[in-house]
Amino acid sequence: MAKAVYLEHYLDSIEGLPYELQRNFTLMSELDNRTEEQKAEIDKLAEDYVANVKNLASEQRVQHLQKIENAYTKCKEYSDDKVQLAMQIYELVDKHIRRLDADLARFENDLKDKLDSSSQESSDEKRLKKDKSVRDKKVSRTQKDSDPDSPGRKKVKNSPNNTDLAMHPSDVLDMPVDPNEPTYCLCSQVSYGEMIGCDNLDCPIEWFHFACVGLATKPKGKWYCPCCIKEMRKK
């Protein structure tokens, strides 16, 4: 749309250019004809002067030479007028060329601004999608924490985030952690890897990482954490 506007304005500005050029070229052609006529007159005057110079009085010679000089002056005036017309034609065309260059520069700047704006909008959309993805993950994690099979319940002994890949307790230190996510185990870290739940219903910690309590596989039967075993021995 912007391109069409620039083109329309430029075409309007050069609408009268052909007529102006034609008028100036016609004037230059007329000046050429006058110059040729004046040159022919100069040649004729020069021939007459050479042929009759011996028979002319001093005053007549001066008058004859004055006519030749006037003819040369007139011829020079015609030439100067032609130069002026040529300069006008050049400036006229150059003005429209500069106008075209300026319009092209403005059009390129407008196009660049539009592309930058489009790129910014695309970046904003990507950022919004990324933020939405992060929020969806948090919602999903919250739903898992509230699930009956999560570490807060006693129905199963495996963490909801249980994976087939074993993780060391130190690995979790390098993971980004939501400050609102609950922590478990003796290490007071979030749930990860395989976890086991203490069968003591009054256990204050409830869930433990395999590696933190020295387990490699899930034990058979009931299992109590070191804290609860210590308390039971005191009784």
Tens of pLDDT, residue by residue over 195-232, are 999 999 989 999 999 999 999 888 888 999 999 998 88
Stretch 12-37: mean pLDDT? 88
Tokens representing 136 are 């969806």
65, 46 contact by CB (below 8 A): no
On the question of pLDDT at 169 being above 80, the answer is no
CB distance 6 to 106 below 8 Å = yes
Percentage of the chain beyond pLDDT 70 is: 71
Binding residues: 185, 187, 198, 203, 209, 212, 225, 228
| Predicted confidence band of residue 153 (pLDDT cuts 50, 70, 90) | very low
Least Cα distance to 231 among 208, 198, 189 occurs for 198
pLDDT at position 69, please?
92
Residue 60 has pLDDT above 50, yes or no: yes
The yes-or-no verdict on residue 157 having pLDDT over 50 is no
pLDDT value, residue 77: 92
The rounded Cα 118 to chain-centroid distance in angstroms is 8
Do 225 and 200 meet the contact criterion of CB atoms below 8 Å apart? Answer: yes
Q: What is the pLDDT of residues 101-127, one digit of tens each?
A: 887 787 788 788 778 777 666 666 667
Judge whether residue 141 has pLDDT over 60.
no
Task: Give dist(CA 161, CA 158) in Å, integer.
Answer: 8
In this prediction, what percent of the chain has a pLDDT beyond 90? 24
Residues of the binding site for Zn(2+): 185, 187, 198, 203, 209, 212, 225, 228
Q: Where residue 152 falls among pLDDT bands split at 50, 70, 90? A: very low
Q: How confident is the model at residue 176 (pLDDT cuts 50, 70, 90)?
A: low
Confidence of residue 158 (pLDDT cuts 50, 70, 90): very low
Query: What's the mean pLDDT when you consider all of the chain?
Result: 78
Q: What is the DSSP annotation of 13-26?
A: HTTTHHHHHHHHHH
**160 versus 119: which is more confidently predicted?**
119
CA 91 to chain CA centroid, nearest Å: 36
Looking at per-residue pLDDT, the higher value among 170 and 229 belongs to 229
